[in-house]
Structure 1
């Protein structure tokens, strides 16, 4: 079968591999779409901390069932999405229903080979029907679910006491930040976005109906203070993956507010303890997503609340990826979500 392998940082190869044989309890999926995300670009650049080479990338997957176990609810031809977080099911996190942060997690395309190929065989429990949406939309569920999970963890909502939405700030509006801003807005928040690229801010204002956009600069904190009357934000989400930006974000959290770190970086993050305590800040990490988040995104798509056509800015065939991925990495390409057709 056709496969694209990242043999080493900066080296993608289009080659042939044997088609996988379905094991007991697994579903063989004919991969049709693969979303390319920041993780894949970090793998290509050699800056992903949890990976060894060579690796078949790709964890944002949709396809069609080729083979399913006897008695399964899945049938050949069903359009499906794959939840790529292969959790163990028995560790402390899994017992709490938090397979997204399983102690033994193996993520497709990171810890194990992913979906940049024609077929993949995975345990049945991670394959779900994509009823009501198409292949393109199904391949976008995963990155959107990460934003949905962060917003749900932070309990963003309309304040009954103040009769207004939480003031939410999203720092860094690449795909994950966009997903976060989208679901914060759908939950009734007043949403401000920050980024170093004006086109990304413009996208959020136009397509997501974000309330305010701030271009990063020397006066960023002053602008945020003015927008909130000096109160700053009930919830701040960081989706930058940049240590300095993550540290600066502590200063954007209002008194009694919550700071959610969606980004993960191979660095120590520090903050000023007196300021942290003065605000009684709640600090949260948000990792991956759960089946509930995928279902929430699916429902939002079916309801027409997700601008999937606008999100999908680029696409290519599997065989074209080794040549085109280096172009997509460049900021000038303006990629929000690129889809690979298998």
Structure 2
């Protein structure tokens, strides 16, 4: 089967691998149909992705078809031919985090396409309980469920409520997904980004209540103008940019919450007296939970989340190596790229 490997930063290689075989009753083989390319993949290509080693097969946002099931699938409702979204978080089920229901931050977590080889291949063997089926959604939609689950999990971490004033910094796909889930809960959401094209996309599709073009850095004075004299009660930073993330400590309302959805390689520093004076709650948000996948599939099937306009770029296996680097250029006005397998 055809497989694309990221051998080292900036270098893809297409190889042939043997197709996987179903070994146990808890496993399935899926035919990969669509792959979403995300920030993790771009960071890995550039050589600055944490928790990553080379060579690696990328791909963890997957829409797939079930083509084989292990025997005696007594607890599964899956059938050959089902369309599924793949939950790429392979957790151990035995560590303290897993026992407490935090499988998203398992102590021995392996994420497909990050810690272990992922879905940039024709067929993939996965645990059957990591497959979330839909008889309604397309493979394009199913490939975006994992991305959306990151935003939903972050929103759940923050316990967003109606009446919250939310600032989302970073208008990439993750920031957009956070925005959508916050608005579903009745919050007022303002999105900030330095790329005009992303803000134009958000304004054109009515994704946020307002948007802010970041020229140099956000200031409390500017935010008070946007939020009618107040500061945001919740800030989600989805940039992965150190300066942006550290600036949030000066922008949050007293008693507010900051959620770091993105991450950078380095130390988080802030003025402790100011942090205490505001009684700020600082949260990180990593991956998502199985129930997040189920909720998103239901929301998409009900038409409450529409990702049709999000897919701005497409490629396929034959052209991925040459086109992947171009997606990162600012002039491409990228929102989301999909690989057709």
TM-score of the aligned structures, taking structure 1 as reference length: 0.95
Kept in 2: contact 1:182–1:208 (CA 8 A):
no
State how 1:316-335 maps to structure 2 within 5 Å. 316-335=315-334
Kept in 1: contact 2:5–2:12 (CA 8 A):
yes
Q: What residue number does 1:113 align with?
A: 117
Q: What residue number does 2:212 align with?
A: 214
1: CA distance between counterparts of 2:328 and 2:41? 10
How big is each residue's C-alpha offset from its partner over 1:162-188, in whole Å with a ceiling of 9 and x where there is no partner?
xxx210000011111111111111111
How big is each residue's C-alpha offset from its partner over 1:193-221, in whole Å with a ceiling of 9 and x where there is no partner?
11000121122223243111111124731
State how 1:178-257 maps to structure 2 within 5 Å. 178-218=176-216, 220-221=218-219, 222-257=221-256
Q: What residue number does 1:271 align with?
A: 270
2: CA distance between counterparts of 1:223 and 1:19? 56
CA gap 1:254/1:43 in 2 versus in 1, 3 angstroms: same
Q: Alignment partner for residue 149 of structure 2, among 145, 151, 160?
A: 145
Q: Per the alignment, in what secondary structure is the counterpart of residue 339 of structure 1?
A: strand
Q: What residue number does 1:166 align with?
A: 164
1: CA distance between counterparts of 2:165 and 2:321? 42
2: CA distance between counterparts of 1:208 and 1:295? 25
1: CA distance between counterparts of 2:216 and 2:69? 56
CA gap 1:219/1:264 in 2 versus in 1, 3 angstroms: closer
2: CA distance between counterparts of 1:198 and 1:185? 22
Gapped regions of structure 1 (runs ≥ 5): 159-164
Kept in 1: contact 2:23–2:70 (CA 8 A):
no
Q: What residue number does 2:103 align with?
A: 99
Gapped regions of structure 2 (runs ≥ 5): none
**Cα-Cα RMSD:** 1.2
2: CA distance between counterparts of 1:128 and 1:229? 42
How big is each residue's C-alpha offset from its partner over 1:71-110, in whole Å with a ceiling of 9 and x where there is no partner?
3321111111110010100111101111000000000001
State how 1:10-29 maps to structure 2 within 5 Å. 10-24=10-24, 25-29=26-30
Q: What residue number does 1:39 align with?
A: 40
Q: What residue number does 1:310 align with?
A: 309
Q: What residue number does 1:176 align with?
A: 174
Answer yes or no: is 1:7 the counterpart of 2:7.
yes
**Cα shift at 1:228:** 2.2
Q: Alignment partner for residue 123 of structure 1, among 114, 122, 127?
A: 127
2: CA distance between counterparts of 1:208 and 1:67? 42
TM-score of the aligned structures, taking structure 2 as reference length: 0.96
State how 1:79-98 maps to structure 2 within 5 Å. 79-98=83-102
Q: Per the alignment, in what secondary structure is the counterpart of residue 20 of structure 1?
A: coil
2: CA distance between counterparts of 1:87 and 1:218? 40
Kept in 1: contact 2:132–2:294 (CA 8 A):
no
1: CA distance between counterparts of 2:249 and 2:295? 29
Q: Per the alignment, in what secondary structure is the counterpart of residue 308 of structure 2?
A: helix
**Cα shift at 1:334:** 1.4
